[in-house]
Amino acid sequence: MSTATTGRDPRTAPRPEASPAPRGIGARLGRLFSRGSASSEAAGPGYHSDGPRRWPWILALVLMVLLLAGAVYGVFFSPVLGVTSVSIAGAPDSVSAKVRAVVDVPDGTPLARVDLDGVAERVNAVPEVAEVEVARNWPDTLVVTVTPRVPIAVTSANGRFWLMDSTGDPYRAVDAAPPGLLPIKLATPGVGDPATVAALTVVAALTPDFRSQVADLAARTTYDIELKLTDGRSVIWGEASDSAKKMEILPAVLAQEGTVYNISDPTLVSVH
């Protein structure tokens, strides 16, 4: 018995001819970037290769690190952003010269590394300085803003004259009482001393015209304040309370004949 078959025998079926491999730079680049997928297919479905796609991120990360390192060096270590000038504001020339001398920041010091608190501490040590603020003004300037002390009186202690500001601080020694500043006699001059506070309250209440007639002010206690006038007369002020009222009535009181004027109670004045 014979069996009939239809179709071609696969062993004898013609095979398609393999196309020639592409050549040129385009073909080379194609093979370069297709290796990962080819390797993945050869290795099986569980294999993943990110090698060809990872290098741009690595390069970007390296560049970022280099840029950051350059920025840190430029700001904190390079003289490119270093101090080239010190600006001092708010103080007269005589005080500015003293402040500049104690700032002590060499030219070229990176501005970011300047110890602002240290500079402020040194400037605060200048007797004429009441307050100070130190700031950076990019790219190369250190700004020192000073609030100077304003002397309103002078006192004597330890055989020397001392300038006093409104706080009662005898902050600077001088050889003689400067013109225009009222001499104050105090037992223990200083910030917080009750007699000092009372004396300065009276000084603040005096009008400029009358102040020029006062030779000195003595505050033995807070309740015992006396003014000596340049013509030899005396004004017993008493305590510092009602100082504005006392100053208001004083010109009329001094118009009376006498050598001692007691206005400790402005409602009951006596003249001797």
> Which domain range does residue 252 map to?
153-271
CB 180 within 8 A of CB 190: no
Checking if the pLDDT of 147 tops 90, the result is yes
Residues 177 and 260 in one domain: yes
Query: What CA–CA distance (Å, rounded) separates 257 from 250?
Result: 13
Percent of the chain with pLDDT over 90: 61
Examine the pLDDT at 24 and tell me if it is beyond 90. no
Kind of pairing, strands 141-148 and 85-89? Answer: parallel
263 plus 224 within the same structural domain: yes
- pLDDT given for residue 43 in this prediction: 45
| Contact (CB, 8 A) for 195 and 161 | no
pLDDT of residue 185: 96
Give the residue, 95 or 68, on which the prediction is more confident: 95
| Cα separation, 163 vs 173, whole angstroms | 6
Q: What is the mean pLDDT of residues 212-241?
A: 97
The confidence score (pLDDT) of residue 198 equals 97
Reply yes or no on whether the pLDDT at 38 is more than 50: no
- The DSSP annotation for 101-113 comes to HHH---TT-BGGG
The count of domains in the chain is 2
- Within the chain, where are the H helices? 25-33, 35-43, 51-76, 93-103, 116-124, 194-205, 208-211, 243-254
Same domain, 169 and 111: no
Whether residues 202 and 113 fall in one domain: no
User: Average pLDDT in the 235-254 region?
Assistant: 97
The answer on pLDDT for 215 being more than 50 is yes
Among 89, 114, 148, which residue terminates a domain?
148
Q: Is residue 85 part of a domain?
A: yes
Lowest mean pLDDT among 103-112, 246-255, 258-267: 103-112
**Residue 231 pLDDT grade (very low, low, confident, very high; cuts 50, 70, 90):** very high
The answer on pLDDT for 122 being more than 90 is yes
Closest CA to 136 of 92, 82, 69, 80: 82
| Average of per-residue pLDDT across 206-227 | 96
What pLDDT, on the 0 to 100 scale, is given for residue 79? Answer: 62
pTM of the model: 0.67
136, containing H or E segment: strand 129-137
Is the residue at 44 inside a domain?
A: no
Average pLDDT over residues 68-95: 75
Looking at the domain assignment, is residue 216 inside a domain?
yes
pLDDT at 76 over 70: no
Q: Do residue 157 and residue 142 come from a single domain?
A: no
157 with 112: CB under 8 angstroms? no
pLDDT at 30 over 70: no
pLDDT band at 270 (very low <50, low <70, confident <90, very high): very high
Q: Mean pLDDT, the chain, as a whole number?
A: 82
Q: Is 208 part of any domain? A: yes
Can you give the CATH number for the domain in which 203 is found? Answer: 3.40.50.10960
Residue 139 shares a structural domain with residue 233: no
Mean pLDDT, to the nearest integer, of 217-237? 97
- 123 and 197 co-located in one domain: no
pLDDT of 143 over the 50 cut: yes
112 pLDDT band (50/70/90 cuts)? confident
53, part of any domain: no
Average of pLDDT values for 201-216?
Answer: 95
Q: What number is the average pLDDT over the span 33-44?
A: 44
